[in-house]
Amino acid sequence: MRPRNIALVLAVVGGLGYLGLSYLFFEMPQSVSAAEDCGFLPGEFVGAGRLTYERGQAWWVSFQRKEEAYVALSVAAALAFVGFALATGRRNGAGATTGAALGGGVLAVSALCVSCLAPVLSVVGLGVAGSLLAGVPKWLILINTLLLTGWGMLALSRRRNTACPLPARRGTSLKTS
C-alpha cells in the first residue's frame, strides 16, 4: 500500500475512533457545574443526572459546544502523519522515521490533553502539557497540527524521492532468459 493511502486510512480510523470513543465515554453530568463544564447551559440541567436531552443528543450538543471536532481532526492528522512516516521509513532511514513518528505521537497526545475525552491526561503524568495547552483554542491546535504534519509529510516525501535507489527485495528480481 502506498504511504499516502496508509496515511488516509489512518486519518479516517483516527477521526472516527475519536468520535466513537468520545460517545462511548460520555457521561451525563450529575451537577450544574459539571453540566456547564460539558458545555450545557444552566437551564438545560433539570436535576441530578438529568438534562433536557437524551444521552445521544446530550453527547452531540456537548461535542459541538466544546469544539471537539477540532480535536478529532487534530488526532486524525497526527495519526496520518505517523502512518506516513512509518510507511516511508525504509527509504528515509531509521533516525528520520523514528523522529517523525515520535513527533506525530506527541502532537496526538497534546491534542488529547485539551479534549473532553481524556481530561485526566492533563492531571495524571501530563500535567505540564495539559496546563500549557489549557488556554489554547482547539482550532489553533488543529492549525498547528496541520502545519506541522503537512510540512513533515513534504519533508519526508522530498527526502524519500531523493534517496538512493534501494536494492531489489529477495524474490522480486526479474529472471532474464
Q: How far is CA 93 from the centre of its chain?
A: 25
Residue 59 has a pLDDT of 87
Q: Which three cell numbers stand for residue 55?
A: 444521552
Q: Which three cell numbers stand for residue 120?
A: 485526566
CA distances from 143 to 16, 19, 176 (A): 19, 19, 52
CA distances from 153 to 96, 146, 156 (A): 12, 10, 5
C-alpha span between 89 and 48 (Å, rounded):
52
Nearest-Å Rg of the Cα atoms of the chain is 21
Domain extents for the chain? 3-162
pLDDT along the chain (177 residues), means of 10: 85 91 83 76 72 84 87 87 78 62 67 60 49 70 81 73 55 53
The residues, ordered by sequence, that sit 6+ positions from 3 with a Cβ below 8 Å of its Cβ are 83, 84, 87, 88, 160
Residue 172 has a pLDDT of 55
The full DSSP string for the chain is: --HHHHHHHHHHHHHHHHHHHHHHH----SSHHHHHHTT--GGGEEETTEESS-HHHHHHHHHHHTTHHHHHHHHHHHHHHHHHHHHTHHHH-HHHHHHHHHHHHHHHHHHHHTSSS-GGGGTTT-HHHHHHHTTS-HHHHHHHHHHHHHHHHHHHHHHHHHSPPPPPPTT-PPP--
Residue 175 has a pLDDT of 53
CB atoms within 10 A of CB 90: 13
C-alpha span between 130 and 167 (Å, rounded):
46
